[in-house]
Structure formats: structure tokens, C-alpha cells
Amino acid sequence: AQRVTQPEKLLSVFKGAPVELKCNYSYSGSPELFWYVQYSRQRLQLLLRHISRESIKGFTADLNKGETSFHLKKPFAQEEDSAMYYCALSGLGSGAGSYQLTFGKGTKLSVIP
Amino acid sequence: DAGVTQSPTHLIKTRGQQVTLRCSPISGHKSVSWYQQVLGQGPQFIFQYYEKEERGRGNFPDRFSARQFPNYSSELNVNALLLGDSALYLCASSLWGQGFNEQFFGPGTRLTVL
């Protein structure tokens, strides 16, 4: 069974401090990992995916297969980063076009001015 | 483009009733997925549809069903409602094909079962 664990429900950091949102996963094959973000009164949206290896809004995430982790990091938090963050996985090869996501429970990031 | 749209925004039902939720995908998207998000939890996958066929089903009872129409819009039906069905129901649409197809989420329908 596939599972995503986000151990922190709430994370509060001061503006300018580093941020790390933790995510661990359980999956028997080769998963694709994602981070989704939901800003206040906005829709759930994709932030980044591990395969693209991009930095989005200053955030990066590295897939560590040995530790089965996909932590989200940002060196200097900004107030506009305050939001709900969800880690998610999808099994590779689920079928062409098929991305059935398994989400963690989410971490609420609060950046204190 | 308004993005994925869902209706209604809010809905209140009583136990045992049936409910139908609706979703219109982004123009050009042929796949629709449904997720249930209970308060304090992440979204949980219910169904995925493409070209009117079910392409995936999550761990939900048979009381949950869905369908997709020729215009790619979709309905989610829940029968014999239970208190535990109270949740935000999210619809997501995407393209379909080899490689990554980002899912774009709608605003959700908030269902309250009394």
C-alpha cells in the first residue's frame, strides 16, 4: 500500500529563516513525488515535482530513495509562503496519462513577520 | 478560461439521502478525477475518468459512483449518505497521454451530512 506521511501539522518560522517541510513515503515501486500548495482562499495547485528538479518560488525538494523522503526546503521564508502544503505521490507506470495521487495530511506553514 | 468549475459550492443533506456533484473540466482536458477531503486530512482519491471510461478507483464503497459525459464533464454520486461522508469534494482535470499530465483542481463542493 502506498502512504505519505507529513509529521508536522503546523510549522511556524520567522521571516528570513530557513524552512523545511518533511515528507516520508511508502511505496513498493518507483513513485513520482509532488508538492502541492494551497494559499488562503485559493485552489490546490502543484508547486513542484521531483522529476523536474526545478526551484519554484525558491522552494526545492530532493527525492531520497534510501530514506524514502521528499522534504521541501527554502533557505529564506517569506510571508507570502504562508499556506497549506501537501506532499503527494503517484505510482509511475499507472497507465498512460494516469496520475492517481496519494496525499499526506498536510502541513500548515505560518511565516511570522 | 475559468479553470475547473464545480457545482454546487455548498450542500447540506441528511443521512440516507443521495447527492450528485458536478464538475466541468478545463477546455481541452479529457480526464477528470475526484477526491474527497475530510477536515484535517489530505485529499483522498475516489475516481479517475477518461473518455467516459473509469480508469481508476480508490478505496471507497459502492455507494460512490461517477460518470463522464461526451463533453468531458463529470458527476459524482453518493447514495445512502452517512455522517462520515461530510467533506470537501474536489474535482481535478488534466490532459491525457504519455508522460506527466498536471491535474488542475477545482474549488470543491462542501458537503455536510446531518
Give the best residue of B33, B100, B102, B104 to mutate against chain A (max A CB count within 10 A): B100
Q: What is the strand order of the sheet A72-74 is part of?
A: A19-21, A72-74, A60-61
Task: Tell the residue number behind the cell numbers 516520508, with chain if given.
Answer: A24
Give the model's confidence band at A52: pLDDT under 50 very low, under 70 low, under 90 confident, else very high. confident
Minimal Cβ distance to A97: which of B4, B31, B35: B31
Q: Tell me whether residues A46 and B98 touch, CB distance under 8 A.
A: no
Q: Would you state the pLDDT for residue A96?
A: 56
Residues B63 and B79 sit within 8 Å (Cβ to Cβ): yes
Q: pLDDT category, A98, cuts 50, 70, 90?
A: low
User: How much is the mean pLDDT over chain A?
Assistant: 91
Shortest alpha-carbon distance between residue B9 and chain A (Å): 13
Q: Which residue of B has its CA nearest to A50?
A: B100
pLDDT band at B70 (very low <50, low <70, confident <90, very high): very high
Torsion sign (Cα): A31, A42, B107, B81: positive
Per-residue model confidence (pLDDT) at position A62: 87
The residues, any chain, with a CB within 8 Å of residue B98's CB and separated by 6 or more, are A96, A97
Q: Residue B9's closest CA among B22, B19, B18?
A: B22
Q: Amino acid identity of A81?
A: D
Residues with Cβ within 8 Å of A42's Cβ and at least 6 positions away in sequence, in order, are none
